[in-house]
Amino acid sequence: MSEAGPDFVFLPLGGSGEIGMNLTLYGYGEPGKRQWIILDCGVTFGREDDTPGIDLVLPDPQFIVARRKNLLGMVLTHGHEDHIGAVAHLWPELRCPIWTTPFTGALLRSKLEEADLLDDVTLNILPLGGTLSLGPFDLELITITHSIPEPNAVAVKTPLGTVLHTGDWKIDPDPLIGEATDEAALRALGDEGVLAIVCDSTNALVPGHSGSEGAVRESLTELIGTLKNRVAVTSFASNVARLETVMLAAKAHGREVALVGRSMFKIVAAARETGMLRGVPEPIAAADARFLPRDKVLYLCTGSQGEGAAALSRIAQGDHPEVTLEAGDAVIYSSRVIPGNDRAIFAVQNALAEKGVEVLTERDHFVHVSGHPCRDELSKMYQWVRPQIAIPVHGETRHLQSHAQLARDMQVKETVIARNGDMVRLAPGRARIIDEAPAGRLYVDGDLVLEDGEAVLRARRGLAFGGVVAATLVLDKRGRWAVDPVLQCEGVPAEIMEDLIDAAAEAAENLTQRQREDEAGASEAVRRAIRRAAKDLWGKRPVTRVQIVYI
């Protein structure tokens, strides 16, 4: 199907219909000859219940890999893992230049270094508010606010119109680090005319305003002042403004700060490298903090989501080599509970309580604000930008729908809810989904990106449910079973093992000489007998593999 003239398309490969794993393509040109740019390239994290054993999940880039020669480059809006975490994994297939701002660049550089890619990647650093031309795309960074330094919206300008790609944002009048949201630039863009906004939906179900880092600073400082013994604060490490708040609060109350947890060090290093955290005292080593009086120390820790290997979990378990908390000490969770993490977080909090450590959370104290726009902020953005089309992204279905309704209430003419892989033509003509691109998930399992991840995970979920029986039978040249069937079981009740062996042996014996020679048929017969016996004895059928060895 060929069309006359170029079009301007939006194509999310991640982050639409889900939270995390953002990867968005914009294409411009005649269908079949479009040129492409990538905005953001993030991951989501694996979960024991549905992706057992998986560390990271990546967006499947095959669509753009196949069009690599027309890929002009990648722009990263900010440094959160769900926006930059897939770069080091996917870049070897994309091999395009990258642009971002200094702090995000510092974070990315350390990732590329770990992946031994630093020499290969062209990483260009743009100033905040910077501009960039890539083929038909004129890009302009617009400073916004979020829960990490240097968040940028990107105005993607083409001859067919301008898209405002917001990235993650909020309206924080007092972000503490960096400038406030550049309302003037957004209004100016609106005055010039905005074809479409592609906009953060995370808090589209939440009324009101997300609140300000400045207000948290006040409240957290006061709270820390009321505590008498050791204090640990756990927070998302990437929220440098929050880290600064904690460091300044510690200073105000005569406490030294010790960082605990690898990402705290990484972020603080990146922040200092790019000129932040200049007004705070140097943290001391956790090993040294042990010798200070209890009211002179504050630990700034990773682990707010109950992550098993993170600092706070180890402290709560009493097996951190350098940090001990005990009765009378306090832990402040300057963070929220991310869905799915509640039980892990509560387990850590219970372990702390068990030691007599007081646990203070956003439930009872004002110690956290979200980094995403609530409904009042979304409304404001629509007032400023006045787009013709609204495309809600970065959210699950309910968020996207609620956001789309809000946009319609704000007089936006067209709303499109696109899923990963939906190619949306923004112009010319009315916005609509014109094509479906392959889009899926790639699984990082140990050091490998799995070739057939869905199959591997299906197998593992099956193993977790019912264990495994691997049976081997040895048939000699005279067509007789050389030994009893050998069954190796894992995750299957030991009490049924003997009966499973008997079932396998009986099935094997019942096969005729000729059936025994038919490997597929014979192994299937034994497999069915084992599974049937398990079902009878146990009520479940384990994963069962049968191998016949002919000697």
Interaction site with its own copies (CB under 8 A): 47-50, 52-53, 205, 339-340, 342-343, 346, 349-351, 353-354, 359, 363, 396-398, 401, 445-448, 450-452, 455-456, 459-468, 470, 472, 474, 476, 482-483, 486, 488, 490-496, 537-540, 543, 545, 547, 549-551
Q: How far is the CB of 231 from its own copies (least distance, A)?
A: 18
DSSP string, 309-345: TSHHHHHHHT--SS----TT-EEEE-S---TT-HHHH
Q: Which strand (E) or helix (H) includes residue 88?
A: helix 87-94
Nearer to its own copies, 271 or 525 (CB): 525
Edge-to-edge strand ranges of the sheet holding 231-234: 256-260, 297-301, 231-234, 330-333, 358-360
Nearer to its own copies, 400 or 431 (CB): 400
Cα–Cα distances (Å) from 202 to 43, 173, 210, 390, 413, in that order, read 16, 19, 11, 15, 22
CB of 381 closer than 8 Å to CB of 357: no
Nearer to its own copies, 64 or 359 (CB): 359
Nearer to its own copies, 22 or 349 (CB): 349
Report the distance separating Cα 378 and Cα 21, nearest Å.
Answer: 22
Report the distance separating Cα 500 and Cα 498, nearest Å.
Answer: 5
Nearer to its own copies, 104 or 313 (CB): 313
DSSP string, 197-208: EEEE-TTTTS-S
Report the distance separating Cα 260 and Cα 290, nearest Å.
Answer: 13
- For residue 428, whether the previous peptide bond is cis, meaning omega lies within 30 degrees of 0, is yes
CA-CA-CA-CA dihedral for 401, 404, 410, 415, to nearest 10: -150
Q: How far is the CB of 29 from its own copies (least distance, A)?
A: 32
Q: How far is the CB of 542 from its own copies (least distance, A)?
A: 10
Q: How far is the CB of 506 from its own copies (least distance, A)?
A: 19
End-to-end CA distance of the chain: 59
Nearer to its own copies, 205 or 284 (CB): 205
Q: How far is the CB of 76 from its own copies (least distance, A)?
A: 26
- Residue 108, Cβ neighbours under 10 Å: how many? 23
CB of 199 closer than 8 Å to CB of 391: yes
Nearer to its own copies, 296 or 460 (CB): 460
Displacement of CA 19 from its chain's centroid (Å):
8
Report the distance separating Cα 245 and Cα 251, nearest Å.
Answer: 10
Q: Which residues, at least 6 apart from 116, have a Cβ–Cβ distance to it below 8 Å? A: none
Eight-state DSSP code of residue 481: B
Q: How far is the CB of 421 from its own copies (least distance, A)?
A: 15
Structure tokens at 161: 């119109």
Nearer to its own copies, 287 or 465 (CB): 465
Q: How far is the CB of 402 from its own copies (least distance, A)?
A: 9
Q: How far is the CB of 529 from its own copies (least distance, A)?
A: 17
Structure tokens at 506: 């009986």
Nearer to its own copies, 109 or 461 (CB): 461
Nearer to its own copies, 183 or 499 (CB): 499
Q: How far is the CB of 491 from its own copies (least distance, A)?
A: 4
Q: From 144, 179, 146, 134, select the one nearest 164 (Cα to Cα).
A: 144
Nearer to its own copies, 50 or 191 (CB): 50
Q: Which strand (E) or helix (H) includes residue 531?
A: helix 519-538
Nearer to its own copies, 133 or 547 (CB): 547
Q: How far is the CB of 54 from its own copies (least distance, A)?
A: 9
Q: How far is the CB of 126 from its own copies (least distance, A)?
A: 35
Q: How far is the CB of 341 from its own copies (least distance, A)?
A: 9
Structure tokens at 140: 């302009």
